[in-house]
Chain A
């Protein structure tokens, strides 16, 4: 083929492809119909089940609201904040989006509070700590649809190999058991120090139970250089220095299958979800235990909620959809399918017969979502390397936390 012919073919292909613009994308709905778009993430791991849940819920909603069309898009977890923030900036964000409390302060300016779209009975049905975790300045920034409780979980197989029958209930119990585990070639726990983890699940639970907090009560300064935080970090350092945890995890976190956790060499962990170790340990070998105690009993747990963005084209329609999707009946269905817990009182206990989930379900009330502060994630960014420095012996615990507090101060101005 001559060059000219090739070029013509190329040009035709290019124009044809670009003209295919009309092939993709979603236009407005049929005339007279309002479309509500919702972005959700793979909360239910099985994609077919997840899609079926929403298809069914949308169908039920539309039979009662024939003029409202609902489109649900399941987005990947990866880069979800970049995708959402960019879409909002371009005024192409969804009407409704699934957010967790960690994200709420960041998007607060773009979120329409949902209080007025939910009935009073529905609002009072939420557990008190759940409502608090999605509220900013007294306004609900999302309608909760699920909760979780990241309680510690222990490996029965490892405990049996060590000859230990009592499971720890406090942080101090871990230190007491640690030498026995080490002598048998096992680690009592694991502490991942890599910044890919969130401190909400690694260091903060220790600090909270020691009586500390991330921010001062008014939120104008950090509080993680307190005595409680120093006590918590000293505890982790004792585990590291004693050789009771895998030191390599402080700087690098490979996939769990490649760690001693996945290889059934670790006694208890408090940062790993049950679903992640289920196939590695065997469900029958998972022993969930209540949040560890020190000064108080507390641990991390999240709340998933459906929030409405201020750019929603039809707020009434979006509000109706949020109220319907998060009502008690639909919430219960969604939570059972995703192995999460209900944020509502009226749904009762969902997992009474499950030895693992029932323990976790009982801990929802003693779980916290972490600080609802706009700079919460930024502050984690400066705290991570200082914790690593302390654990690697490059700084003292006091020095590391004081340095982190100094580095965090400009972020809060």
Chain B
């Protein structure tokens, strides 16, 4: 390659550091051009990515009025009227608490059950294992809306309507989570498990001392995704949480709005729902990125 040619070793004294040959002018210029082009491209990508978030915040802080480009994207005139209405509701803290309970408990439950099931499907031998696994996986093919009414009827028969457990329990059997766990655990060497058993470990001990520490990366990745799914969930919490006290943030804010919601109010609601999930993303950013690249699932 023309830009990496170095002079012969004999041409320089042994003590002198080999000098890099000057790049030919054109190649140098081309290199700089590439760097500038690449930076510009990345900057353009960053601006394009950030623009919707900027627009969401700026437009939510405007008084109700026509939206015209580019005037509406300037930070003035400034108004908090939309936020006053969205977070002015006296039950908003309760809704936030309900959302946290729904999201956090579901994350914990999904990770616990999915890791146990994933371990069993990946490393245990029992009759009908494959059939059971593929049947379980078939749940992924059934649209959520098809199972919604039967699930509600079961919860209703068990007196779970308008309760936390009624909201949470049906979401704990997550086929996608089990599948990911099973795939991850299957890649762990069998020798580890054999060695543990030879040392007299019980199944519970193997799960706690071998499986869980080794699957931390997938637990973290999946945890972030499950949290996102639950935080943004609307239909199931709406159907199960019938009273004002059982509303989540998404359903509670929606109940404050008229049929045709003004844009600034819609965006103020989005900002209120977005901030906590953005914080969660910042905390679990590394795992989220790893998750997207290794599992292909997206929030």
Interface residues of A (CB under 8 A from B): 3-4, 7, 10-11, 13-14, 17-18, 20-26, 42, 45, 47-48, 71, 73-79, 82-83, 85-87, 89-92, 255-258, 262-264, 273, 275-276, 279-280
23 inter-chain pairs at a CB distance below 8 angstroms, sorted by A residue, are A3-B212, A17-B164, A21-B163, A24-B243, A25-B166, A25-B243, A25-B246, A26-B243, A45-B258, A47-B255, A71-B243, A73-B242, A77-B259, A78-B254, A82-B238, A87-B239, A89-B152, A89-B153, A91-B156, A92-B156, A263-B66, A275-B258, A280-B64
Answer whether A74 and B164 are a contact pair too, CB < 8 Å, given A20-B101, A86-B239.
no
Question: Among B24-32, B175-183, B260-268, B273-281, which stretch is in contact with chain A?
Answer: B260-268
**Closest 3 interchain pairs by CB?**
A76-B254, A25-B162, A90-B156
Query: A45-B257, A90-B153 are known contacts; what are 15 more A-B pairs with Cβ within 8 Å?
Result: A3-B212, A17-B101, A18-B168, A21-B164, A42-B256, A47-B89, A47-B255, A47-B256, A76-B238, A82-B238, A83-B235, A90-B155, A92-B161, A255-B266, A279-B262
Alpha-carbon gap, A89 to B239, bound state (A): 11
Residue among B112, B156, B168, B257 making CB contact with A10, cutoff 8 Å: B112
Q: In the complex, which residue of chain A has the Cβ closest to the Cβ of B150?
A: A89
CB of B244 within 8 Å of the partner chain: yes
Answer whether A18 and B105 are a contact pair too, CB < 8 Å, given A45-B258, A255-B263.
yes
Answer whether A257 and B258 are a contact pair too, CB < 8 Å, given A23-B164, A82-B239.
no
CB of B60 within 8 Å of the partner chain: no
Residues B161 and A25 in contact, CB atoms below 8 Å apart:
yes
Residues B153 and A83 in contact, CB atoms below 8 Å apart:
no
* Count of inter-chain pairs, beta carbons less than 8 A: 152
Chain A residues near B153 (CB-CB < 8 A): 89-91
Chain A residues near B63 (CB-CB < 8 A): 279
CB within 8 Å of A: which B147-179 residues: 148-149, 152-153, 155-157, 160-166, 168-169
CB of B109 within 8 Å of the partner chain: yes
Interface residues of B (CB under 8 A from A): 63-68, 88-89, 101, 104-105, 108-109, 112, 148-149, 152-153, 155-157, 160-166, 168-169, 208-209, 212-213, 234-235, 238-239, 241-246, 251, 254-260, 262-263, 266
Chain B residues near A264 (CB-CB < 8 A): 66
Answer whether A83 and B64 are a contact pair too, CB < 8 Å, given A47-B256, A92-B161.
no
Residues B149 and A257 in contact, CB atoms below 8 Å apart:
no
Residues B244 and A82 in contact, CB atoms below 8 Å apart:
no
Q: In the complex, which residue of chain B has the Cβ closest to the Cβ of A47?
A: B256
Residues B163 and A17 in contact, CB atoms below 8 Å apart:
no
Alpha-carbon gap, A26 to B208, bound state (A): 39
Alpha-carbon gap, A23 to B156, bound state (A): 17
Q: In the complex, which residue of chain A has the Cβ closest to the Cβ of B81?
A: A279
Residues A258 and B105 in contact, CB atoms below 8 Å apart:
no
Residue among A3, A42, A255 making CB contact with B258, cutoff 8 Å: A42
Residue among B238, B251, B257 making CB contact with A42, cutoff 8 Å: B257
Residues B239 and A42 in contact, CB atoms below 8 Å apart:
no
Residue among B235, B246, B258, B263 making CB contact with A24, cutoff 8 Å: B246
Residues A83 and B260 in contact, CB atoms below 8 Å apart:
no
Q: What's the dominant secondary structure at chain B's contact region?
A: helix
Alpha-carbon gap, A20 to B166, bound state (A): 11
Chain B residues near A25 (CB-CB < 8 A): 161-163, 166, 243, 246
Chain A residues near B160 (CB-CB < 8 A): 21
**Closest CB of chain B to A249's CB: distance in Å?**
15
Residues A83 and B239 in contact, CB atoms below 8 Å apart:
yes
Residues A79 and B235 in contact, CB atoms below 8 Å apart:
yes
Chain B residues near A23 (CB-CB < 8 A): 163-164
Chain B residues near A48 (CB-CB < 8 A): 88
Residues B260 and A276 in contact, CB atoms below 8 Å apart:
yes
Chain A residues near B89 (CB-CB < 8 A): 47
Chain A residues near B212 (CB-CB < 8 A): 3, 7
Residues A14 and B239 in contact, CB atoms below 8 Å apart:
no
Chain A residues near B209 (CB-CB < 8 A): 3-4
Residues A258 and B65 in contact, CB atoms below 8 Å apart:
no
Q: What's the dominant secondary structure at chain A's contact region?
A: helix
Alpha-carbon gap, A42 to B160, bound state (A): 26
Alpha-carbon gap, A83 to B88, bound state (A): 25
Residues A262 and B66 in contact, CB atoms below 8 Å apart:
yes
Residues A92 and B242 in contact, CB atoms below 8 Å apart:
yes
**Closest CB of chain A to B106's CB: distance in Å?**
9
Alpha-carbon gap, A212 to B197, bound state (A): 80
Chain B residues near A45 (CB-CB < 8 A): 257-258
Chain A residues near B243 (CB-CB < 8 A): 24-26, 71, 73
Q: In the complex, which residue of chain B has the Cβ closest to the Cβ of A278?
A: B64
Chain A residues near B266 (CB-CB < 8 A): 255
Chain B residues near A263 (CB-CB < 8 A): 66-68
Residues B262 and A257 in contact, CB atoms below 8 Å apart:
yes
Alpha-carbon gap, A75 to B242, bound state (A): 8
Chain B residues near A276 (CB-CB < 8 A): 260
Chain B residues near A10 (CB-CB < 8 A): 108, 112
Residues A3 and B238 in contact, CB atoms below 8 Å apart:
no
Residues A4 and B208 in contact, CB atoms below 8 Å apart:
yes
Chain A residues near B235 (CB-CB < 8 A): 79, 82-83
Alpha-carbon gap, A264 to B153, bound state (A): 49
Chain A residues near B148 (CB-CB < 8 A): 82, 86
Chain B residues near A262 (CB-CB < 8 A): 65-67
Residues B112 and A11 in contact, CB atoms below 8 Å apart:
yes
**Closest CB of chain A to B227's CB: distance in Å?**
14
Chain B residues near A258 (CB-CB < 8 A): 67, 263
Chain B residues near A79 (CB-CB < 8 A): 234-235, 238
Alpha-carbon gap, A77 to B256, bound state (A): 9
Chain B residues near A77 (CB-CB < 8 A): 254, 257-259
Alpha-carbon gap, A47 to B162, bound state (A): 21
Alpha-carbon gap, A125 to B140, bound state (A): 55
**Closest CB of chain A to B145's CB: distance in Å?**
8
